[in-house]
Amino acid sequence: MATAPAVHSAPFERLRTYASFVRFEHTLFSLPLILAGIFSAPGPTLSVTRWVWIVIAAVGARTAALAINRLVDRRLDALNPRTASRELPSGRMKGVEAWALLIVSAVAYLLACAALGPWYVNVSWVPLAAFTLYPYLKRFTPLCHFGVGAALALAPLAGYAAAHPDLADPVPAGWLSLFALLWVSGFDIIYATLDEEFDRGRGVHSMVAWLGRVRALRVSLLLHIGAAWAMGLSILRLLGPTANQATGWGAVTVAFGLGTAALLFFEQRWAENVNLAFFKVNVWVGFGVLLQVLAARMANGGL
């Protein structure tokens, strides 16, 4: 009788292990950007079916990205005391399980692209190529953080393209993509401060190992200033004629913009406390951008 709960809970434990393996909670970084891309331009109302395929594509791509990253870095993770307890190096998950999860998620992503339309199949390789390339960059260049940024910068473009097959007004989504590139690259530098000694000792390239913590964080600050600038240009483009109005949804949009800029400021202010800056402040930035986009659309007559 004492062993029954463990037997019954085993499948749920495996699901928890898989979710931890791909850091499912990190979807909070990409999902708001995808939604911001969807609402970055007026367009037809999406059917429930199309929404479902967009969600499947997003989850499939995100899961594939993290699975690729974990498989590529499994040996480095085993050497790093901070990451040695992760699923693959600790043995809590077998390599064959990781490969199976990667294949299933990639197939789900590709099927969703096929359901969305032929054009999406033709470009479906782009995110997969980005996801495969960026884990290797740390072996060659301290600019590796821009690889992570580039991968996440695809999120608003993907959302926009999925919701607007005519690709009629991509400019706001383009500015959102630039924002994502600078924002994510900046916070990845902050995250890399956790591994400064390990990276330098093992010859792993990062901005922190190359420049030192202080100068690398200055680069992160400049990137986040650039991100705020790109965000502002995107919102101005979305607002259009309402940008000069100080009332109504235009004012709400500006308020959300200032709030998001404040989050970036506090992320930099608390950069020495990575847990606070990265996991408790940074996670809300994407939602701040999404709220700005939604408010700007309301200012122009609704969603």
Domain assignment of residue 259, yes or no = yes
pLDDT value for 262: 94
Which of residues 141 and 165 earns the better pLDDT score? 141
Is position 205 within any domain? yes
Residue 4 lies in a domain: no
Residue 10's contacts (CB-CB under 8 Å, 6 or more residues apart) are none
pLDDT at res. 84: 92
Each residue of 139-157: pLDDT tens digit? 999 999 999 999 999 999 9
Q: Domain for residue 226, yes or no?
A: yes
State the chain's mean pLDDT as an integer: 88
pLDDT in tens, 187-229: 999 999 999 999 999 999 999 999 999 999 999 999 999 999 9
The pLDDT-based confidence of 120 (bands split at 50, 70, 90) is very high
pLDDT above 60 (res 113): yes
CA distance 196 to 76: 14
Q: What is the mean pLDDT of residues 251-265?
A: 91
Evaluate whether residue 161 is within a structural domain.
yes
pLDDT for position 15: 73
Average pLDDT estimate for 75-97 = 90
The pLDDT of residue 160 is above 80: yes
| Residue-wise DSSP of the chain | -TTHHHHHHHHHHHHHHHHHHTTGGGHHHHHHHHHHHHTTS--PPPPHHHHHHHHHHHHHHHHHHHHHHHHHTHHHHHH-TTTTTSHHHHTSS-HHHHHHHHHHHHHHHHHHHHHH-HHHHHHTHHHHHHHHHHHHHTTT-GGGHHHHHHHHHHHHHHHHHHH-TT----HHHHHHHHHHHHHHHHHHHHHHGGGHHHHHHHT---HHHHH-HHHHHHHHHHHHHHHHHHHHHHHHHHHGGGGG--SHHHHHHHHHHHHHHHHHHHHHHTTTSHIIIIIIIGGGHHHHHHHHHHHHHHHTT--
Question: According to the model, what pLDDT value does residue 291 have?
Answer: 94
Output the CA torsion sign for 139, 140, 142, 148. negative
pLDDT at 8 over 50: no
Whether 11 maps to a domain, the answer reads no
Burial of 13 (0-12, 13-18, 19+ CB in 10 A): exposed
**Residue 105: per-residue pLDDT:** 94
Rg (CA), the chain: 20
Model confidence at 21, in pLDDT bands (50, 70, 90)? Answer: confident
Q: What is the domain extent for residue 212?
A: 17-299
* pLDDT over threshold 70, residue 242: no
More confident residue, 175 or 278: 175
pLDDT confidence of residue 3: 44
| Pair of tokens at residue 75 | 């040996």
Task: Output the pLDDT for position 236.
Answer: 84
Give me the CATH number covering residue 25: 1.10.357.140
Whether residue 235 lies inside any domain: the answer is yes
- Give the model's pLDDT for residue 240: 75
Mean pLDDT calculated for residue range 47-64: 93
Kindly indicate the confidence band of residue 26, based on its pLDDT and cuts at 50, 70 and 90.
Answer: low
Residue 27: which pLDDT band, with cuts at 50, 70 and 90? Answer: low
- pTM here? 0.89
Percent of the chain's residues with pLDDT above 90: 64
As for how many domains the chain has, the answer is 1
The reported pLDDT for the residue numbered 25 is 62
More confident residue, 41 or 217: 217
pLDDT of residue 5: 44
Which CA distances in Å does 97 have to 20, 71, 215?
Answer: 13, 11, 40
Residue 185 lies in a domain: yes
Q: Are 77 and 28 in contact (CB under 8 A)?
A: no
